[in-house]
Amino acid sequence: MSIQIRKTLLQVETTLIEGGKAAATPLKLFAAIAVVKNPWAGKGFVGDLKPEIHAGAPVLGELLTKMILDAVGSGEAVEAYGKAAVVGLDGEIEHASALIHTLRFGNHYRQAVGAKSYLAFCNTRGPGNAPIMIPLMDKNDEGRRSHYLTIQTAIPDAPAADEIVVALGASVGGRPHHRIGDRYQDLKDLGQDVANPAGV
């Protein structure tokens, strides 16, 4: 059984002014979202989620990646990326996690944008109009703080109790006027290394 998609949504946000100061280069944030029937809805506790993951996750990964690429223009232009899922109130957090925490979903996006870092993520449960939070980070440099961003949105009628909202996010650019440096300077100042940032 493939995934049942009720609707999709594409959001593009452009920030021209931040902190009362015009951005030298506007920040563009993109969210590609699908509202799908929860494939485990009404089945009680399901021990093996793999069949539905294999059937649905690749479809969603391919669809949402294409939506992002069509909106941005190319995979190369994507600088930061992330993913999120919100399961409806009758579902488990594990159901939201299942559709996005699999390489069958994420690798479509990773390969299309030439990314090396992991996909930042958020998986939650909520009713219709629940916050959809898509955390982003640089697709190749996890320590580049200018690209620590979060896309915030919501869909008034989703997720229904038996649905899951699945989303990918992208940025072209980092925060306007970013000025907190990156984590590498912190590591240098603290005498720690990337592999053990807390020095434990």
pLDDT tens figures, 141-186: 988 999 999 999 999 999 999 999 999 999 999 999 999 988 888 8
- Tell me the DSSP string of 146-175: GG-EEEEE-BTTBS-TTEEEEEEEEEES--
**Region 102-131 average pLDDT:** 96
Report the predicted TM-score, pTM, of the whole model to 2 decimal places: 0.94
| Alpha-carbon distance values, 94 to 39, 48, 120 (Å) | 12, 11, 17
Whole-number percent of the chain with pLDDT over 70: 100
Mean pLDDT, range 129-133, rounded to an integer: 98
| pLDDT band for position 45 (cuts 50, 70, 90) | very high
pLDDT band at 112 (very low <50, low <70, confident <90, very high): very high
* Average pLDDT of every residue of the chain: 95
At 65, the pLDDT band (50, 70, 90 cuts) reads very high
For residue 150, what are the β-bridge partners? Answer: 135
CA–CA separation, 95 and 65 (whole Å): 20
Give residue for tokens 């899951």: 164
Averaged pLDDT for residues 85-109:
97
- Average pLDDT for 111-133: 96
Closest CA to 148 of 121, 115, 174, 113: 174
Check the CA dihedral 181-183-186-188 and report its sign. Answer: negative
Taking the CA atoms of 33, 166, 67 and 1 in sequence, report the sign of the dihedral they define: negative
